[in-house]
Each structure stands twice: as C-alpha cells, then as structure tokens.
Structure 1
Amino acid sequence: MTDFQRNALTSGLSITRRRLLATAVPAALALPFGTTLFCGTSRANVRDPQVPALHGIAMHGEPALAPGFAHFPYANPDAPKGGVLTLGVQGTFDSLNSFIVQGGFTSARGMKERQFGENITESLLMRNNAEPFSLYAHLAEFVRMPDSREWIEFTLNPKATFSDGSPFTVDDVIFSLQIMRDKGRPPFRNWYAEIANFEVMGERTVRLTFKNGNNRELPLLIGLAPMFSKAATDAEAFDKSTLKPPLGTGPYVFAEIVPGRRVVYRRNPTYWAKDLPQKRGFDNFDEIRIEYFRDETSLQEAFRKGLIDVLPFNNPSRWTTGFDFPAAREGKVVRKEIVKGTPANMQGMAFNTRRPVFADRRVRQALSMLFDFEWVNRTLYSGLYKRTAGYWDNSDLSSIGRPADERERALLAPFPGVVLPEVLEGTWKPAETDGSGRDRTVLKAALTLLQDAGFSLKDRVLVDPQGQPVTFEIMTKNEDEEKLALAYGRGLDLVGIKASVRTVDASQFEERRIKFDFDMVFYTWTASLSPGGEQVGRWSQKAADTPGSLNITGAKEPAIDAMIDAMVAARSRTDFVSAVRALDRVLVSGAYAVPLFNLPAEWLGQWTRIVSPETFPLYGYEFPTWWSADAGN
C-alpha cells in the first residue's frame, strides 16, 4: 500500500483502482478558524463527496503517472548525493522576491524556477515536465476538482514543513494566495483575483471557489502558486524589493547572499519531501552556487577556467568556436545537445506599439521585412539558426503552413480584417531574401507598405506623414544583442531609417522595461505544449496598461482577448488546438515583433565532473536532476 493510499484511508477516504473517493472529514478534525481570520474565509464541512480525491490532475485528460508511481521519468532515483554545482549567469540581482513588480525581474536565480530549481519556494502541486501539463501532489497530499472546475480543494501533506521546522498550514495557503492577489505582479494578481471564496474544510483542507469555471486552466495555476509562511512574511512590505531571505518549504536554504555577485544554496538535510516519489532523484548537490557576471565575455572565460560547471550557449559562433581550450581538448569539457519536445520559443525584436511610430500595422510589417535573416545567419551565425515565423513553431499548435479550420474561422469571424488573408490560408511566411544584405525585391516591397501607410522618401530619408524623419532606438542588454541590432540597422538604413542602438546594464534594462520606456527591445516569448493563462499577462488589453506586465508590445486587440478566452475555456484537445492556432494567426498578423530565429536544440557546455540523466524532460534541461561525479567518494 502506498503512502497516498494509507493516508487516504486514515482520512476516511475509500479507494478505487485509479482514484480515491472523498467522504466527510470527522467533525473532531475541524479547526476553530473564524471568518475574521481572512477576508472571504469561512469554516465548513467537506462537501461533494462524489468528487474524487486524486494524486494528480492534468489540463486535458488524465495524468500519465498512476498513484504509487516510483519517480518522474527524467529523474535517476539512484543519483548520488553530494558535491557542489556552480552555475553562471550574465546580469545582476538586487531582490529575493521575484513575484512583485519592484525588483521582480532582477531577483536571484534559483529560488523557484524550472531550470535552476525550486530550491526555496514550492507549490501545492508539482509539475511533471515529461507531460504537456500535469501536476502531482506535493505540499498538498490530495486534490479534488469537479469537472466544471468551479472550485479546487487541497488536503495538505501532514509531513510538509518550512525549513525552520514549522508546519505548513491552510493559513499559509490562504495567506499566500491573498498576498499575491493584493500585492503580487501581473499575471499572478490577475489569476488569484478570480478566487471568490476561501473555505477551511478541516485541519488540513482548504477549498477555493472561483468566480466561474470559464478558465479551465485556473485550478492548475493555483496548484503552482508560490507558498509563503504567514508567520515569517512581512505582509505590509511584501510589494517592496528586499534582500531578506524568505522562509520556504524547499530543499535548500540560503548559505550566502552577495547582492549582484553571488547566491549560494545549501541542501537542507531535514527537507520534508526528500523521500517522496516526486522528489526521488532530485536535489542531489550539497551546495548550489550561482555566480553573476556583467558581460558574456567574462562569463565565457569563467567557464573555460573551470569556475562554472555547466553553461548554456545561445550564440552559434561561440558554440562552434568556443571549445578550443585545453580542458575541452582533453575531454574534461564536453558539448551536449538536447532536443526539446516543445514548440520553439519566439525570439524577436519587440515593437512598443505605445509609440506613435509603430502604431500602424503596415509599418511594423515593413520593418519586419527589413531584417535580412539569410544574410545575418550566414554572416554572423555560421548558418546554424532556423527562422522563426510564429509563436508555436515546430508543433501542432502552430498556424504556420496550415489553413485555418472551421473552428478557427468561427472564432475569428467576429473580427474581420484582423487576420491577414495569407495568414488565414496558411501561405504566409517571413520575408526571404537572396542573402546579399540588400535584396532589392524585398526592399521595394517594404517601401510599398510604408508608402501605403503615408510615409515617403525625401533625400534618401524616410519621413512620416507629418514630414518628420523616422528614427527610433533599439535597447540592448549585452554584446550579442548589440551586434544583431547593428546588423538590423544596416537594412533600415537602406530605406532611410536611422535607428540608434543603446546598450544598458541589467538593472537599467529592467527598470525601463517595467515602465515600457523603450522603442524596440529584444524579447523571448517562451512556448509550451499547454499555453494558457500566461497569455493574458503577455497580450491582453488590460495588461497593456499595467506597469510591470509582460505585455511588452502594448498590444490592444480585442481579438487577442477573445482567442485567449476560447483557449482557456476549451474542454477538448481539438478545440484547444484550434483556439491556439487562431491566437497564433492574430499575433502573426499583428506584426508585434520582428521574428528572429531559434536553435535546433539546447546547447550546453559541461565539465565532466557534473553528470546529467540519460532522459531529459520535454521542456529541456533541469539542473535539479543532475549530480556530481564525485558524490559519495
């Protein structure tokens, strides 16, 4: 009998082969919480016993792993414990709270994220990244959710504690969701504001009822919410940037914090979940060190000297030429290519449509055509990049090369003209040049679009309808972006546009980005197999006017909001795919960014003293499942 089944029985739940049926919790277990403890909180008995208590939930269908699973497919349960992992990033940090606007984007890496680990802060449920979007019990031992998804109920794991040994309680759950609703950054505050009622159902059980069940992803987003200690968190100052270490339930604690330079995590030997199935093969290093570097050149040099154990490579030139040093020649450093099972991320140069110069879609289309990918890829990147076209390339969610089906056309019908005819029919693709750097055919087509928008050439200078020269700034944060921006400027110059390039440090970059104080900026829209509520923060009309939101472009298109609503409300995989493709068509037609390129795989340089599992998640590398070759020696 598994722990899940044993605890379910002791909680008064009956077991079937795949699920546990909930019954009422004995009255003796109910805590005397009053309605004054939290706004909207009340005490109640367990209701709806026909709704099963589950070990996991999925966005569509059922989770792949049955109750009693041994471990996640990409984790090695026999991985040895011990050793140190040192990682490096370019940039800085001045905050330990990534969930607020102030300092939220300059927080220390590794507190709660997929690649570097959820080392400090955890969630009620844990995501299995071998599946598109499935979550399994973690801080919550059981979860109940009706088919309508109008509410979700969590029964907490009795073993769950914070790193100081204090228990994790329903008070902490409610506090975490309410403080994020009131003081968190978008899109978190928007998601958690959809909770209409908080009900304490028993000693370890809390039910969250939503305003409606229209957003079918919302219960899963709640399951991934960061959990804080009510007792150890300063609620009044939560929205202020801080370097005070938060108290978490995660497998590590802070060992050293040097603002802007270094953060060190030390494994907690009394971590409450270390022996649970979802954590087998995870959290293998005694210590994780993350070093910060001001520029890419110094980061690369640190890797070559052995000061960094593993380093991602995003620049093809560095990937092809950056391993000519003694340790690499001796086999102490190897190159690793990881092919992901997810759509390609959309990397682009985003237009800030809040600026008048980019308000006209035809202008944005023309400016996108002036990026000569063929010349850039051959000249700067050894031909190793693939051109990006849409927001879910390399997956069945992409609209590129596919005519719209009947469901898509029905969704788009209330918004005539929003989607370009060639995008609707699946024939559109980014402008393709002859690779010369001055393809006259493409230049002429771009100028025609600009002239249609009222722009004209005067003395080899492009002027707007008011007769003013067209100028704008491209903001960059490192030398790679600067080099690419200058290359793009060559094409702009051919049609009389003067674009300046300004490189700023990481803190200034984030400050200007949060305030939308830029003309153009490099940005990556990460893609997954299960897009959902995060698209609201990226593209909705409301987010466009919210400082600190991820609506970088300032897009304000009702059709976008409608497609997102259809996507999160989809009950079948077929309807979901159609809604995502329809959204893709709207975004592509809006020309909100110059589409750049994507890598055929994730590229990592790795010292052989660090070992990775044989199997990787769909979403790419995750350091929590790696281990030290010297561990145990």
Structure 2
Amino acid sequence: MAQQFFQTLRTGSAAVTLCLLASSILAAPQTGLAMYGDPDLPADFTALPYVNADAPKGGAIITGEGGSFDSLNPFIRKGKAPWQLRYLMAESLMGQAYSEPFTLYCLLCETVETDADRTWVEFTLRDTAKFSDGSPVTVEDVMWSYETLGTQGHGRYATLWGQIARMEQTGERSVKFTFNTPNRELALLTAIRPILKKAYWDDKDFTQSGFDNIPVSSAPYVITDVQPGMFVELTRNPEYWGKDVPFMRGQANLDTIRLEYFADASLVIEAFKAGTLNAHREFNIQTWKDQYDFPAVARGDVIKSVIPHQRPTGMTGFAMNTRLPQFADWRVRQAMIEAFNFDYINEAQTESQQTRITSYFSNSPLGMRPGPAEGRVAELLAPYKDQLLPGTLEGYDLPETSGRELDRGAMRRAIGLMEQAGWTIQNGQMKNAAGQPFAFEIVLKVGDDENQSIIDTYTQMLLHLGITPKISVVDSPQYTQRMESFDFGMTPVRYGLSLSPGNEQYAYFGQAAADTPGSRNIAGISDPVVDAMIDKMLDAENREDSLAATRALDRVLTAGRYAIPLYAWNESFDAHVKELKYHDTLPLYGDWIMWREMTWYWQE
C-alpha cells in the first residue's frame, strides 16, 4: 500500500501493509494490527513513541502550495481539493503508526478481530466516537461510508469495495467485512478508509464538488475559513472526541492549520522568507544550500531541520516506454542508461550533493542486497532463471561514469549494446539494418524546469550515439492525456514506494496494468516474473518470506532497466519558525504524511 505525493517507512524487519494478525490460531479482539506477528506497542500503550504526549496546545502551522483548488471534498472524483484534506477531515477505524512498517492501532474502533487467514475482519466502535457536530459515529455511518466511497467516491476506493463479499452489522457497535479474494492485506486496507456522516449527505449529491458542502468531520480539525483557490484554514475542535485515545495523545496539538496557495509555485519560498508562511518543506537540495541564508535564519528565528528516514527510495527518473519496439530490447534500455552521465549531470545540477537511486526499494531493508541472490531470494527466483534478464541473479549495478562531459568509456559500452540489439551508427546516425533511424520522443510538462535542464544535457550526450530525440513540452492537461494513452517514448516518472508494499504494486508494475489506459504502469512493464514476485509478497505469512519476495521483486524490476534512475531523497528538509517543535524521537517514516500537522506543537 502506498500514497502518491512523497512516501513511507519501516524498522529493521520488513514489509507489507497495515493490520494486526493475532498470534494465536483463534481470532480474538485486539487493539492493533500488524501485517505479520504482533504490533510493537502493548495493548495498554499510552502514546505513540514519536510524539510528545504532554505537548502544549496552541499555535499554528501555515504552509504553502503551488497551484489552486476548486473543491473541499477530497473523497470524490470531481474537482481538485487540497490533498491534505483527505487526512484532516475524517478519521478511520484505525490509524497507522509511523514507528513500525504499516502497523495500525485502534482509533474509531475499540477493538479489531480477524482470523488467521485474514478472510474477514470485524471492528467494534468506541461508544465515545463522535462527529464534529456532536452526533455519534454509528455502524450505519461506517457501512454507508464504505459503500458510497466504493461506488461513488474517488477511484482509489473502488478496488477494495470490489473485494468485499459481505458487509454486515454484527452488534450494536460492531461491523464485519468478509472478503471474496484471498489477500492478507485487505483487513489492513479496510481499517483505514475514511468514515463520513451519512445523515449529512442524505439531502445532498455526494458526487458534486465545490465549496457549498463541507463534509462533517470525525477528525480533530474542522474547516473554519476558506477563500476559493487561495487558502483553507482549519481549526482544532476543542470538543474533539478522541483527544484521550492512546493513538491520538500528543497529536493534533496546533490550534490552526492554514494552507496557502500560490499560482506560481516559485513564490512559495518567497512567502516563507517574508513570514507569510511559518513552515516550508524544501525538495531541492541546491536551493536548501543556497537560499536559506536569509536574516531570520541567521537570527535563529527560523530553524533548518534535516529529517532522515528509512523509506524506500522508490523510483524517480526517466521511464522508457517498452510498448514501443525501440525500447523492447533490454540492451537498448541499458544503452540509454550508459549514455546518461549521472556524475556529470549531478555535478551540474546539485554540485554532486545528491546520491543516486540504486534500486526501487533502496535505502530500506526491502531493497535487494549487493552481489548474487542468496538464500530465500535465490530460491524464489530459481524457477524463473531462464526468463530473467542478466544481472537479476548475479547482481545489477548502475554504470559508473567519469564525471567528464564526454565519457568515452560509457559511450563505447552504449554503442556496443546498441550493436548487439541490431543498431549501428551509419553516416552519423543510429540506424537498424533496414536503414531506419533510432528515434523517440521525450515528453515533458510545462514548468518542469529541473527535468528540462537534465534532458537538455542528456540529449547532447545522445548525439554522440547518433540519436536525436524529439523533445515535446506540453501543458498539464495534454501531458495527462498523453500519459493516460502512453503516447511517449521517454518521460519523467516517480514511484513512491512503501515499507509495506501491497496491492498497489500490480498497478505500478503488473502485466494487467501494462496496457490499461490511465494506469500507473508508465513503462509498460509486462513480465510474468514481476507478477509472480508480487504474488509471493502478498501471499507471505511471515516477515521473512515477505522480505525475501520484495527483495526478489526489486531485483527483477531493477535488472529490467525500465527507467534511468535519478536522485535518492533519503532525508527531508524542513524549515520552520523556532516555535514549532517536534519530538526528539523521529518516526521510521521521517517527515511523512501529516507528521508535521499532527505531531508538531507550538512552544514559545
């Protein structure tokens, strides 16, 4: 399981999704769910380890976003709502602890129960759970939320709903979900759906976006002010029902969360420097080094915090469209990687301050280990040895480059690979035996200046191979349309992978998604071994097997040479006013979704 914007974590074990499997054979009510084994925290825990349980209440966090919004309902297909509202406007039955690899603890529910094979899961609601208007959260609200989200809500909710065979009320405060698919992750996924108030929507069209209907919240914050397209302000509800629930103790400390929007994204940092914003997450390491020396930093009024994490790097780079004959051959894809002089580009872009992604799950225990596959990983891959690309079993490393503008060794290797694949330089152009030139189109989005700069440098390198790609820079709607129809040769790609990878791996890398318009399988990966390793990962009944399957999957994907990897982001850069504090114990996930908004606190 994963999210899309910037991504997840784990401890030194490994792997998949969210709930608790009781250690006993018989199902029994529990207060937490881990993918394997028992949760780290005991049933009588008082607070999560990365929060200040005695944090003072008060203060505000004001952050900025580029772009705009036209809706306050983040749960539907229509409109564009601030992404944070998806997490700030509704509680779920259970909440995810960022100190463990996808482990959940009871929030709206008082207990959770499931069988050893996870064919069903049952929740008992807390009798204290309430919406922001003071009305109780009922089983009817829960059942309505699941059906409505699954049938009318955003597409992200549909898959789970299709795998629920039966949903039934089993007691005054209990609801049970029985699944129609053998999938151990489903119990976890079921636990984290947002719960909405049914009665609020009885006389309204749930599918319509806009600013008139603001969903009643079961969460600690309510929307109290909004200027369409400009800002949204949320205020902490002093009557929030869950402030003493162990999972929430030390969370939701700030009185105000304000989201400011700027049509020009470059103005966000200027607004922070001017004091309009009081917290800013920086994604560009060069900007972090060069532009955070303004007076407030020198005075100590603004703090620069570097937050490490143990989330997988995922894959950020340039995907090659393997649906096209030009990129169907792995040797051509390796040649494209060889020609990409990362050391030279890294020096030009970041003064060599960034490390490089080495595999899809690097920076985490889930990542493949150097050298040949061993132990359980080798056993999982052995039945497919005749189908595996070179480097899968032996070990795959990205090519080293000299750092000079023209790396002749890399060019020789690239030319040799192209020749093996049937392409040679003829009269200064790379052509096949029929005399057809090797041609492809690189599609970029308007405003993507960093990738534009990298591609400009890369295309100069490709000229030495006799390759002149076409570069198309298109607006956002056209870019979306072209990605949905897979109309490109090469394009930027970003896969944020989790410490608890789950069913989303099929959507990213599975065969069924390869030719499904609009899918996230951008590169068109269609490898039965990839599907087999995802199957093994999801079918694993213990952490060891899941870890081995994920490492095996990482090997198959990396040796597939589907993308040219770019920078690894193994730490986050947060600048904030000195009054905004966080606990000394950092979560495994580091600066992850809502960590700032929910666990930081204000202290003069």
TM-score over 0.5 (shorter chain): yes
Give the corresponding residue for 1:220. Answer: 188
C-alpha displacement of 1:302: 1.4
The residue type equivalent to 1:136 in the other structure is: Y
Distance change in 2, residues 1:110/1:323 (3 Å): same
Moved more, 141-150 or 350-359: 350-359
Give the corresponding residue for 2:113. Answer: 144
Give the corresponding residue for 1:267. Answer: 236
Give the corresponding residue for 1:88. Answer: 64
2:42 to 58, 66, 73: 66
- CA distance in 2 between counterparts of 1:177 and 1:474 reads 38
Structure 1 contact 418–589 (Cα < 8 Å) conserved: no
Distance change in 2, residues 1:242/1:582 (3 Å): farther
Mapping of 1:286-297 within 5 angstroms? 286-297=255-266
C-alpha displacement of 1:601: 1.9
Structure 1 contact 96–107 (Cα < 8 Å) conserved: yes
Structure 1 contact 125–224 (Cα < 8 Å) conserved: yes
Distance change in 2, residues 1:487/1:332 (3 Å): farther
- CA distance in 1 between counterparts of 2:75 and 2:431 reads 43
C-alpha displacement of 1:511: 5.3
Distance change in 2, residues 1:380/1:99 (3 Å): same
C-alpha displacement of 1:514: 4.7
Give the corresponding residue for 2:267. Answer: 298
Distance change in 2, residues 1:180/1:497 (3 Å): farther
Mapping of 1:226-625 within 5 angstroms? 226-233=194-201, 242-243=210-211, 244-426=213-395, 428-463=396-431, 467-476=436-445, 477-503=447-473, 509-510=479-480, 512-514=482-484, 516-621=486-591, 622-623=595-596, 624-625=598-599
Moved more, 342-351 or 217-226: 342-351
2:81 to 88, 91, 107: 107
Structure 1 contact 350–521 (Cα < 8 Å) conserved: yes
Matched, 1:122 2:64: no
Tell me the C-alpha RMSD between the 2 structures: 2.8
Moved more, 445-454 or 324-333: 445-454
Give the corresponding residue for 1:44. Answer: none
Distance change in 2, residues 1:383/1:141 (3 Å): same
The residue type equivalent to 1:550 in the other structure is: R
SS in 2 for 1:602: strand
The residue type equivalent to 2:318 in the other structure is: M
- CA distance in 1 between counterparts of 2:195 and 2:122 reads 16
Q: Which runs of 5+ in 1 are unaligned?
A: 1-18, 22-47, 113-117
C-alpha displacement of 1:306: 1.6
Structure 2 contact 440–490 (Cα < 8 Å) conserved: no
SS in 2 for 1:281: coil
SS in 2 for 1:565: helix
C-alpha displacement of 1:208: 0.7
Distance change in 2, residues 1:496/1:517 (3 Å): same
The residue type equivalent to 1:576 in the other structure is: S
Give the corresponding residue for 2:27. Answer: 51
Distance change in 2, residues 1:554/1:76 (3 Å): same
Give the corresponding residue for 1:36. Answer: none
Distance change in 2, residues 1:99/1:453 (3 Å): farther
C-alpha displacement of 1:567: 0.4
C-alpha displacement of 1:485: 2.7
Distance change in 2, residues 1:303/1:232 (3 Å): same
The residue type equivalent to 2:222 in the other structure is: V
Distance change in 2, residues 1:271/1:55 (3 Å): same
SS in 1 for 2:104: strand
- CA distance in 1 between counterparts of 2:259 and 2:162 reads 34
Distance change in 2, residues 1:166/1:153 (3 Å): same
- CA distance in 2 between counterparts of 1:575 and 1:235 reads 50
Moved more, 528-537 or 48-57: 48-57
Q: Which runs of 5+ in 2 are unaligned?
A: 1-19
Distance change in 2, residues 1:469/1:345 (3 Å): closer
- CA distance in 2 between counterparts of 1:145 and 1:376 reads 51
Q: Any idea what the Cα deviations from partners look like across 1:380-409, whole Å, max 9, x if unmatched? A: 212211111111112232114142234334
Q: Any idea what the Cα deviations from partners look like across 1:255-305, whole Å, max 9, x if unmatched? A: 234444322222222222122211111112221111223444322211211
- CA distance in 1 between counterparts of 2:141 and 2:278 reads 37
Structure 1 contact 55–67 (Cα < 8 Å) conserved: yes
Structure 1 contact 482–501 (Cα < 8 Å) conserved: no
SS in 2 for 1:528: coil
C-alpha displacement of 1:517: 4.8
- CA distance in 2 between counterparts of 1:237 and 1:391 reads 41
- CA distance in 2 between counterparts of 1:49 and 1:432 reads 51
Distance change in 2, residues 1:402/1:164 (3 Å): farther
SS in 1 for 2:171: coil
Structure 1 contact 86–309 (Cα < 8 Å) conserved: yes
SS in 2 for 1:424: coil
- CA distance in 2 between counterparts of 1:236 and 1:501 reads 47
C-alpha displacement of 1:413: 4.0
- CA distance in 2 between counterparts of 1:314 and 1:57 reads 33
SS in 1 for 2:88: coil
The residue type equivalent to 1:563 in the other structure is: M
Relative to the length of structure 1, the TM-score reads 0.84
Distance change in 2, residues 1:506/1:231 (3 Å): farther
1:175 to 118, 126, 144: 144
The residue type equivalent to 1:201 in the other structure is: T
- CA distance in 1 between counterparts of 2:287 and 2:493 reads 21
Give the corresponding residue for 2:603. Answer: 629
Give the corresponding residue for 1:11. Answer: none
Matched, 1:192 2:157: no
